[in-house]
Chain A
Amino acid sequence: MDKDTIEMLARRAGLARALADFPEDVTIAATQAADVAQKIKRPADPRAEPWPPMKAGTTL
Chain B
Amino acid sequence: MAADEGGDDAMSDLHWMTVGAAARAIAAKELSPVDLTKALLDRIERLDPTLNAFIRIDGEAAMAAALAAETEAQSGRLRGPLHGVPVGIKDIIDVAGLPTTCHSKVLQDNMATADAVCVEKLRGAGAIVLGKLSTHEFAIGGPSFDLPWPPARNPWNTDHHPGGSSSGSGSGVAAGLFPMALGTDTGGSVRNPASCCGIVGLKPTYGLVSRRGVFPLSFTLDHVGPMTRTVADNALMLEAIAGHDPLDPGSAASAQGHYGAALDRGIRGLRVGFVRHFHEIDTPANPEVTAALEHVARSLQVEGAEVRTITLPSLNEFGAVNRVILQSEAWSIHGPWLSERPGDYGKLGRQRLMAGAFMSAGDYMLASRRRLQMIAEVEAAFREVDVLLCASSMDPACRIEDTAEVARTYPRQARTPFNVTGHPALAMMAGLSVGGMPVSVQFVGRYFDEATVFQVARAWERVAGTDKKHPPIV
Are A and B bound to each other? yes
From 8 to 45 in chain A, residues with beta carbon under 8 angstroms from any chain B beta carbon are 9-10, 13-18, 21-22, 25-26, 28-30, 32-34, 36-37, 39-43
Set of chain B residues within 8 Å of A58, measured between Cβ atoms: 249
Tell me, rounded to whole Å, the shortest Cβ–Cβ distance linking B334 to chain A: 11
Set of chain B residues within 8 Å of A49, measured between Cβ atoms: 369, 372
In the assembled complex, the Cα of A17 lies from the Cα of B375 at a distance in Å of 40
In the assembled complex, the Cα of A38 lies from the Cα of B247 at a distance in Å of 36
* CB <8 Å contact, A29 and B324: no
Across the interface, name the chain A residue whose C-beta is closest to B353: A29
* CB <8 Å contact, B352 and A29: yes
Main secondary structure, interface of B, reads helix
In the assembled complex, the Cα of A40 lies from the Cα of B420 at a distance in Å of 13
Is B373 close to A, CB under 8 A?
A: yes
Across the interface, name the chain B residue whose C-beta is closest to A29: B354
Tell me, rounded to whole Å, the shortest Cβ–Cβ distance linking A56 to chain B: 13
Contact of A13 among B246, B321, B335, B372 (CB under 8 A): B335
* CB <8 Å contact, B338 and A50: no
In the assembled complex, the Cα of A3 lies from the Cα of B316 at a distance in Å of 27
* CB <8 Å contact, B358 and A21: no
Across the interface, name the chain B residue whose C-beta is closest to A20: B342
Contact of A15 among B321, B324, B343, B354 (CB under 8 A): B354
* CB <8 Å contact, A51 and B375: yes
Across the interface, name the chain B residue whose C-beta is closest to A17: B342
Set of chain A residues within 8 Å of B327, measured between Cβ atoms: 32-33
By CB atoms of chain A within 10 A, which of B249, B316, B357, B366 has the most? B357
In the assembled complex, the Cα of A34 lies from the Cα of B353 at a distance in Å of 14
Is A57 close to B, CB under 8 A?
A: no
* CB <8 Å contact, A40 and B370: yes
Set of chain B residues within 8 Å of A22, measured between Cβ atoms: 342-343, 347, 350
* Residues A40 and B324 in contact in the complex (CB < 8 Å), given A1-B358, A9-B358, A59-B249: yes
* CB <8 Å contact, B321 and A40: yes
* CB <8 Å contact, A14 and B339: yes
Tell me, rounded to whole Å, the shortest Cβ–Cβ distance linking B145 to chain A: 16
In the assembled complex, the Cα of A50 lies from the Cα of B368 at a distance in Å of 5
Contact of A34 among B246, B352, B358 (CB under 8 A): B358
* CB <8 Å contact, A39 and B342: no
Tell me, rounded to whole Å, the shortest Cβ–Cβ distance linking A37 to chain B: 4
Tell me, rounded to whole Å, the shortest Cβ–Cβ distance linking A41 to chain B: 6
* CB <8 Å contact, A42 and B339: no
Is B227 close to A, CB under 8 A?
A: no
In the assembled complex, the Cα of A11 lies from the Cα of B291 at a distance in Å of 50
Across the interface, name the chain B residue whose C-beta is closest to A16: B339
Set of chain B residues within 8 Å of A34, measured between Cβ atoms: 358
In the assembled complex, the Cα of A39 lies from the Cα of B416 at a distance in Å of 15
From 351 to 397 in chain B, residues with beta carbon under 8 angstroms from any chain A beta carbon are 351-360, 362-363, 365-373, 375
* CB <8 Å contact, B342 and A21: yes
Tell me, rounded to whole Å, the shortest Cβ–Cβ distance linking A19 to chain B: 9
Is B60 close to A, CB under 8 A?
A: no
In the assembled complex, the Cα of A26 lies from the Cα of B249 at a distance in Å of 33
* CB <8 Å contact, A33 and B246: no
Tell me, rounded to whole Å, the shortest Cβ–Cβ distance linking A35 to chain B: 9
* CB <8 Å contact, B356 and A33: yes
Set of chain A residues within 8 Å of B1, measured between Cβ atoms: none
Set of chain A residues within 8 Å of B338, measured between Cβ atoms: 14-15, 18
* CB <8 Å contact, B352 and A32: yes
In the assembled complex, the Cα of A30 lies from the Cα of B247 at a distance in Å of 35
Known: A14-B335, A14-B338. 20 other contacts (CB 8 A): A6-B358, A9-B357, A13-B357, A15-B354, A18-B350, A25-B347, A29-B355, A29-B357, A33-B355, A36-B363, A37-B367, A39-B316, A39-B319, A40-B324, A41-B317, A41-B370, A42-B370, A43-B370, A48-B369, A60-B247
Q: Which 5 A-B pairs have the closest CB atoms?
A: A50-B368, A29-B354, A33-B358, A14-B339, A39-B320
* A interface residue numbers (CB < 8 A to B): 1, 6, 9-10, 13-18, 21-22, 25-26, 28-30, 32-34, 36-37, 39-43, 48-52, 58-60
| 19 contacting pairs across A/B (C-beta < 8 A) | A10-B357, A13-B339, A15-B338, A15-B354, A18-B350, A25-B347, A29-B357, A29-B358, A30-B358, A32-B323, A32-B358, A33-B358, A37-B359, A40-B317, A40-B366, A40-B367, A43-B373, A48-B373, A50-B372
